[in-house]
Structure 1
Amino acid sequence: MNTPVEGFSRLSKAEKIDWIATNFTKNPEESRQLLQQYWNTDGKVQKLHDEFIENTVSNYYLPFAVAPNFLINDRFYAIPMTIEESSVVAAASKAAKFWLNRGGFKTTVLGTEKIGQVHFIFNGDFNKLQDFFSKIKPDFFSDASSITKSMEKRGGGIKDIELRDLSDKVKGYHQLHCTFETLDAMGANFINSCLEQFAQTLKEKANSYPDFTQKEREIEVVMSILSNYVPKCLVRAEVSCPIGALNEDDISPTEFAQKIVRAVEIAKAEPHRAVTHNKGIMNGIDAVILATGNDFRAIEAGVHAYAAKDGSYSSLTHASIEDDIFKFWIEVPLALGTVGGLTSLHPLVKLALEILQNPKAEELMQIVAVAGLAQNFAALRSLVTTGIQKGHMKMHLLNMLNQMGASESEKLQLVQYFKTHTVTNASVKEALEKIQSE
């Protein structure tokens, strides 16, 4: 019978595994063996993994792959990708190869501003609050100097602090809207530390401000936290070439270009399509984010908010035909880091960054944007020509055969067979059963 457990975090790993296996699995011994099977045989590395989060009982592995042949700003890259979805790496590699001899990818960082906010309640005269803020604004910077000193030496720090009145949305709600430059660090800890100091300064100064009434002095700080919506931490990636260079089988270059442009227009106009369109972009972006030890959840939240910035959820990519030139591009917010966090701890993250030639944060922004653009181009290329399933299902074939328990010799035969046949769950099952019956 399942019962609550006291002091679970203080149990040894073996005790945690035993409790989980005994109370929550049908075959405890098999479950124990499975969890232990995924331990890292290097005790030092395993200890490192155990300390990333709480209550670890094993490791959850995802494939670590590389997509080669990316030409970005006339420099060659092999891009590490960590993802479980079939065809993503293949699609990225195919797009990289397509653009390799058509000028490659061009990128530009449009901004690196990150945002944090102190949310507080002030019930009083806003004009008095404005005067108060103007007088104490320098104190926010000086009181946080011990936190910002090191960042400022490297050229970063607090960029600005604004007072915003949002009491029309929530009674008494105001905020300090703060912008930061965190250089090669993602900067979450730095920003949050600054914000908590700002909140302390705000309350202390308000408490002794002579022009406030007693009620106005009682400022309530609700929370101090960075924002993952960073519309000014922005990067652009693009590809372009003469329409005549878009040679594809069974379709003219002009028709191919027009179909891509139309597909993007549909994703701009129709949110149901835009969500799936952008999900494909995030297949590429998330895979590189994971491989480089960055926070894909923060990136996802910020990117999708940006996709809805004009009031309706829309495509992150754009396409045009002008003067016989086809252009395809993306502008996407990416708050990334190449120092701190897992970047200096996880062995594979360190290797991924080395493979990328140890990029600065701005360079990583550009690489990640390219991965998203390449993924979207590959998807649209399939959608407007052969259809998405032809390539995807062939990449998914081995997964299907493994699920069906095919032997190695059966896999070899069926991989060869489905080079010229349509892959579906039913067709694979039928072909496997035919081989087994023979």
Structure 2
Amino acid sequence: MATTRISGFYRLSPEERLELIAQARNLNGEEKQILSGAQPFSIRSADAMIENVIGVISIPLGVAVNFKINGVDRFIPMATEEPSVVAAASNAARTAYDLGGFHTSLSGSIMRGQIQIVDLPDPYGAQARIYEHKQEILDRCNAKDPTLVSLGGGAIDVEVHVIERAKEPMVVLHLLVDTRDAMGANAVNTMAEAVAPYIEEITGGRVVLRIISNLADRRLVRARAVFSAEELGGSEVVANIVRAYEFAECDPYRATTHNKGIMNGISAVVLATGNDTRAVEAGAHAYASVSGRYRSLTRWELNQDGNLVGSLELPMAVGIVGGATKSHPTARLALKVMDVQSAEELAACIAAVGLAQNLAALRALATDGIQKGHMALHARNLAVMAGATDEQIDLVVKMAIAAKDVRYDKILELTKQLQTGDVHGDGSDKQG
């Protein structure tokens, strides 16, 4: 197993990084061409995935390093357009690596399908009748997906809720389905639609909605790690990180941006692996509100050694089979690079990245502020916008950072100076 603790990984060229990952994960020539973009995702493949296709859009795919998760070193592919996200996750993971890395657990792989029943004269009687026919309901559901059942999954239980807060009472049946290594939307929705006529027969009511819920509270992933106080900058920095977390825990305005930072990392891995970013994001933010108040998804505290302990818990409905995880070649390769063999392992990796991402943001906020590192990386984008060539980008960024001014107008000025010969190659003014 190759170590992910790679010093200076960010200093390598994209070609050198790809070659290192290819050697570690035994990628062949075709797979390297797909990742590098030399063999692009075809418009024909795109047309088979969604409607009205006219083209494709490329998102940068980076690899976060330094991640040790449940004792296993893993490279983490991340697809994102936002500067500093991949670097921040890698740096945060480094501070936990020598203290054991990340430890995770999963509550299961159960998703909920909801069936809404209305026009009921006796909603509580209907609730009782549904429970009386539970096994028949489960059997009908499982008959729709014998493959899932053969893999140890399928519909396993029902919950029935009477909702009286609506204009008229309604009954909502929850199908609890173990979707195993799939995200499960197709399986759950198929079962819910198939069993709906039988539910009407049992209850005497009328079924309206039959749809999965993305609040996957029976599919929670938890991540924990200890981060070195010394590596983070000392006890004062650690204390400020805890204060920043307490602010998010108490204030929904702060919690919203706090949790957005967590999702910077989570959504990047979800997207890279071809999973449903909107489902994961909706579930996470709903879970942050289950207490009746929007709160932090993470917890931060000090242990007896003065090191920082972070934990994260949220729903994680992801899979490694079905959908774009198999139909998109880059998504398939992202799973190979990560070396995950189950949805549980994938969820563990995603949660670890979310926790690392949160620490990185809190550390930045508690010290120099978020903009120092972010803008230094964003300067590369600005240099491209200003017309800098590939050979000039790094020099323009170096000059802007030296001038402590990474605004676009300054970078545009420096780019023009460099291209007109008003500065030396080392960034100094010729007239100086």
Query: TM-score interval w.r.t. the shorter chain?
Result: 0.7 to 0.9
Of residues 121, 125, 129, the one that matches 2:126 is 129
Structure 2 residue 236 is matched with structure 1 residue 255: yes
Q: How far apart are the structure 1 equivalents of 2:46 and 2:376?
A: 35
Alignment partner, residue 65 of structure 2: 68
SS for the counterpart of 1:76 is strand
Q: CA deviation at 1:120?
A: 1.2
Shift of residue 336, structure 1, vs aligned partner: 0.7
**In structure 1, C-alpha distance between the alignment counterparts of 2:91 and 2:352, rounded to whole Å:** 13
What is the rounded CA distance, in whole Å, between the counterparts of 1:142 and 1:273 in structure 2?
Answer: 47
Alpha-carbon separation, structure 2, partners of 1:163 and 1:202: 12
Offset, 1:398? 1.3
Is the partner of 1:239 in helix, strand or coil?
strand
How far apart are the structure 2 equivalents of 1:288 and 1:41? 22
The residue matched to 1:418 in structure 2 has which SS? helix
What is the aligned partner in structure 2 of residue 425 from structure 1?
Answer: 408
1:290-325 Cα shifts (integer Å, max 9, x gaps): 110100001111100011111111111110124234
Residues 424 and 171 of structure 1, relative CA distance in 2, 3 Å threshold = same
Deviation readout 1:240-282 (Å, 9 max, x if unpaired): 1564x4452xxxx211211110010001111111111111111
1:402-432 deviations in Å (ceiling 9; x for gaps) = 1122344543432222343422334334434
Over 3 Å counting, the alpha-carbon distance change for 1:199 and 1:409 in structure 2 is: closer
Residue 235 (structure 1) aligned with residue 221 (structure 2): yes
Cα 1:400/1:50, change in 2 over 3 Å: same
2:260 alignment counterpart: 279
Q: 1:44 to 1:286 in 2, by over 3 A?
A: closer
1:79, CA displacement in angstroms? 0.4
5+ residue gaps in structure 1? Answer: 1-39, 207-216
Among 161, 164, 171, the alignment partner of 1:164 is: 161
Matched with 1:33 is none
Distance 1:230 1:380 in 2: 27
- Whole-angstrom distance in 2 between the partners of 1:315 and 1:190: 32
Maintained 8 Å contact 2:96/2:228: no
Match of 1:369 in 2: 351
Counterpart position of 1:103:
100
Pair 1:378–1:247, CA change in 2 (3 A): closer
CA distances 1:66-108 after superposition (whole Å, capped 9, x unpaired): 1122111111111001111111111112112222223211111
The correspondence of residues 338-417 of structure 1 with structure 2, limited to 5 A, is 338-408=320-390, 410-417=392-399
- Structure 1 residues 41 and 364: CA distance shift in structure 2, 3 A: closer
Could you list the per-position Cα deviations for residues 102-146 of structure 1 after superposition, in whole angstroms to 9, with x for gaps in the alignment?
Answer: 321111113332111100103312343244223322221222332
Q: Among residues 225, 244, 247, which one is paired with 2:211 in the alignment?
A: 225
- Structure 2 match to 1:291: 272
SS of 1:343 mapped into structure 2: helix
Q: Secondary structure at the match of 2:357?
A: helix
Structure 2 gaps, min length 5: 1-36, 423-432
Deviation at 1:41, TM superposition (A): 8.9
Counterpart of 1:187 (choices 184, 189, 212) is 184
1:161 deviation in Å?
1.0
Structure whose CA Rg is larger: 1
Give the TM-score, by structure 1 length. 0.82
Partner residue in 2 for 1:331: 313
Query: Cα gap change, 1:44/1:201 in structure 2, threshold over 3 Å: closer, same or farther?
Result: same
Instruction: Using structure 2 for the length normalisation, give the TM-score.
Output: 0.83
- Per the alignment, do residues 178 and 409 of structure 1 end up closer, same or farther by CA in structure 2, a change over 3 Å counting? closer
Question: 1:242–1:324: 8 Å Cα contact kept in structure 2?
Answer: no
| Cα contact 1:246–1:257 (8 A) shared by 2 | no
Query: Aligned partners of 2:47 and 2:284: how far apart in 1?
Result: 30
CA distance in 2, matches of 1:367, 1:41: 28
The answer on whether the counterparts of 1:139 and 1:201 sit within 8 Å (CA) in structure 2 is no
User: Which stretch of structure 1 is more off in the superposition, 314-323 or 140-149?
Assistant: 140-149
- Asked if structure 2 preserves the Cα contact closer than 8 Å seen for 1:103 and 1:241, the reply is no
Question: Does residue 196 in structure 1 map to residue 179 in structure 2?
Answer: no
2:79 and 2:272 in contact (8 A); partners too: yes
Instruction: Tell whether the 8 Å contact from 1:235 to 1:331 is kept in structure 2 after alignment.
Output: yes
Instruction: Please give the per-residue CA displacement for 1:127-183, whole angstroms capped at 9, x wherever unaligned.
Output: 432442233222212223321432222111112112211033330311112211110
The 5 A counterparts of 1:134-145 are 134-145=131-142
Q: What is the rounded CA distance, in whole Å, between the counterparts of 2:84 and 2:41 in structure 1?
A: 34
